[in-house]
Chains A and B, each alone.
Chain A
Amino acid sequence: MHEMSIALSIVDAVESKAREEGAGSISGIELVIGKLAGIEPESLKFCFAAAAKGTLAEEALLVIEEPEGIGECGECGKRFPVSFYYAECPECRSLRVKIVSGEEFLIQSITIEEQEGE
């Protein structure tokens, strides 16, 4: 269940950014989690709710973009979708496949609420 410690580090990162910006709260967090990143988005969402309790991110809506895995063949250079690391090139059957997309794990952006009239 590394999703919990991941959720805590996300809360840490977005809170410190939001404080830097003088935000009253965080209303949205956009994450990019590649399909090969080793993170279950559903499990992360579940943990995030607990991790964000009592923080600026408590009310934040998590939006998760999940880029597909793409491999590039080391022999013939063909690019093709992969669902896991043991991919085989559909063109030349080589196993020398380099992952070029799908391992991303980023906090893309946060949306903060500036509390002026309150």
Chain B
Amino acid sequence: MHAQTALVDRSAVLDISARLRRFLLCLLVTLCMALPVPLPAETGHGAFEVVAARTEKGEDGYLLSAQLDIRLSAGAQEALENGIPLVIEFQIQALETHVWLWDEVIEEIRHARQISYHALSRTYVVRDIKTGRQQNFRSLQDALLMAGFMQELPVLDYQLLEDDKNYVMRLRGSLDIESLPTPVRLLAYVSSAWDMDSEWHKWQLAR
């Protein structure tokens, strides 16, 4: 129980800290837009969307299978093609629902995949950052499809669950701006073209 509470606090703090920092930077960089440097015009908005997600019971816990539709903005695609790797991050949370209170996060998992372009072989390399496994694709579409696909990823241990309570899973995908090179990061903070986070996709945990 203590571990759960700690988890709640830490994740909440991380979340707020990241949002606050992002807001302040956004404000700062917007102010700095008055600087005498022309910034690249952004065209073509991208967006992430969770098209399907479900959990199945596995041996020790629940396994997640999901598909995130990744549509890169023109800017992001250009960056990718110019050798800048992009990191797609999945944020998976298990929530204990309450009728009168806020839902409580009992487990959170972050899963990241990197897409990069290999110029010599003209392939897009999708790499799972955790496992290091990689796959190469000739087309970007295939690479993005693969990057957004998750199959039977263990997300929730049975031990964390109690019988008489209700649980909800939720998932969202986003582009990890912090992993971008510093100069690009400044742009990414303020440009809506780099804001491709998906909404939370929520579903009931089948018991």
Q: Bound pair: A and B?
A: no
Residues of A within 8 A of B (CB): none
